[in-house]
Chain A
């Protein structure tokens, strides 16, 4: 039996964003939302570990009311229950504040063997939440994990590092930040989607977690986003169209001129 808590984020689908180059802005209007891609790998791994070893998976999501959509999807994927951490006080907090709020919720849940997160989220990809969360909980972490094997109180994990695969062993409890290579997330069946509606979702506010509002959100954050703009690519962006042979001729000339072919 293994008690797992998996953290995920409800984000705007970055592939659906409209780039307004004229005004140097991103247009978020009408953009679709989703569970951050890598977080789906985290959920999948949590559910697989439960299926193999028995136990429960609790989904944990910090977000606004519209994150309920992602919470429901996580339940359809196989989480047994979920906690949505939603409070205006949490808004515009930096990643370390997010980790702090998650850690308070995990302390309230109380019992766990494994916390699973992704390595990063598709919106800002800071990679901060997992390690910071392990730090707040004072448990060891294994990041960039591509394989998890559980035997009793011991976990063996493969980590994808720059120089190769590093295999580590760790006692429970620990935090695992998964790499996308770890699995292929499932698509829930219709029956699973329907039954997700019956699963327990509890919403927690700052006060439920013993969090002072001034210590989280924008005011409690040590790093703030001051502006977001569309980068002007410094690339030449010279496109050749037309017949393959003609375009190739011109590209070959350009490469010679640039001195990258000799």
Chain B
């Protein structure tokens, strides 16, 4: 089976190579598009198992907008003739995949988990119904498939792929970027943290959030929040939001404090290594998704836990 992998993020692209190589006898090509000199990235992407790298360098691809990227990928696909196109499920990848599928008349599967290939069709699991269920979906034949970042290890080793340079042909109408504002450091902070302690609706007022500071200190944790606290109440900046419309985090330890566990939130922290929940409602969905849970009033449990950890660690 022929695979074409693409992400605007080189690390994610290496992860997709691993995903493609899991299928036996796969032939893997890489799409490398953008406005910068592809030489350096091309070297990074020359990992074991890669047979070709298709490069398109053009100023129109500078901001990785959906329309030019789709056109570039279509152009590469006409050369590489992939059965399956794997795209990193970053926001930019998510908006390109369906367009490319329409252009190439292929099926489209987004956020594929547990992806497998058999007899020329792809089968994957997808989280649906607010995280209550998983659907198994199958493509009739070829497909464009998005896979979440960090779902696979980066491919390694080295190879000498055939490098093909294409000239960008299609110019389609698109928006143009007129400004960028980086997220504040809080977000970078929660995404890279080894531990995250997040607050939810169980907190009665903004001032009470201070309760988390000591606990976060002992755990060397960054502080996050669920959507209601950021978007609806504005008690914390959006940059600290964990969830579908916020950041996806995968720390070693995730502590959900007063968070009921709606899909919106679970999507952003489900892959954490160890999940701990503190909630006064025993039936809260978060208790179905945690390793350890304390059923109790967070106003009592958080100080008690802080104290217990302080005593045991001597901090």
Contacts and interface: CB of A to CB of B under 8 A. Distances in A.
A169 B141 CA distance: 37
Interface string A151-176: 00000110011111111111100100
Contacts of A65: none
A262 interface: yes
A258 interface: yes
A134 B179 contact: no
A165 B180 CA distance: 6
Interface in B121-174: 123, 126-130, 132-141, 143, 172-174
A131 B90 CA distance: 14
Nearest to A179: B245
A99 B102 contact: yes
B107 interface: yes
Contacts of A236: 290-292
B175 A174 contact: yes
Given A228-B135, A248-B307, A95 B178 contact: no
Nearest to B184: A164
B133 A231 contact: yes
A222 B139 contact: yes
Contacts of B63: 166
Contacts of B262: 15
B180 A17 contact: no
A15 B131 CA distance: 10
Contacts of B273: 260
A261 B313 contact: yes
Given A26-B132, A236-B291, A244-B300, A224 B137 contact: yes
Interface stretch (B47-55, B91-99, B198-206): B91-99
B27 interface: no
Nearest to B126: A124
* Interface residues of chain B: helix, strand, loop or mixed (majority): mixed
A229 B107 contact: no
Contact of A140 (B67, B94, B136, B178): B67
Contact of B297 (A96, A140, A244): A244
Contacts of A260: 195, 219, 252-253, 273-274
Contacts of B219: 260-261
Interface size class of A (residues with CB under 8 A): 35 or more
B180 A164 contact: yes
A85 B63 CA distance: 36
A105 to B, nearest CB: 17
B66 interface: yes
B291 A235 contact: yes
A236 B277 CA distance: 12
B4 to A, nearest CB: 17
A235 B290 contact: yes
B289 A233 contact: yes
Most B C-beta atoms less than 10 A away, residue of A95, A166, A233, A254: A166
A164 B24 CA distance: 39
A252 B310 CA distance: 9
B304 interface: yes
Contact of A170 (B126, B136, B175): B175
Given A142-B175, A165-B180, A167-B180, A230 B133 contact: yes
A227 B288 contact: no
Interface residues of B, number: 90
B137 A226 contact: yes
Contacts of B101: 96, 128, 132
Nearest to B142: A222
A131 B107 contact: no
A93 to B, nearest CB: 12
Interface string B269-298: 000011110000010000111111111110
Given A127-B94, A168-B178, A238 B102 contact: no
B138 A226 contact: yes
A95 B98 contact: yes
B102 A255 contact: no
A229 B294 contact: no
Interface in B84-112: 90-92, 94-99, 101-103, 105-111
Contacts of B127: 125, 231
B294 A169 contact: no
Contacts of B218: 261
Contacts of A15: 130, 262
B152 to A, nearest CB: 18
A191 interface: no
B66 A171 contact: no
Contacts of A225: 135-137
The 6 closest A-B pairs by CB, nearest first: A222-B107, A14-B130, A244-B300, A170-B175, A167-B179, A248-B304
11 contacts: A128-B98, A131-B98, A135-B99, A135-B103, A160-B91, A179-B245, A222-B108, A227-B135, A235-B290, A244-B300, A261-B218
Given A19-B133, A222-B107, A258-B253, 10 more contacts: A122-B263, A128-B101, A131-B97, A157-B175, A177-B95, A181-B238, A227-B136, A238-B293, A248-B294, A261-B218
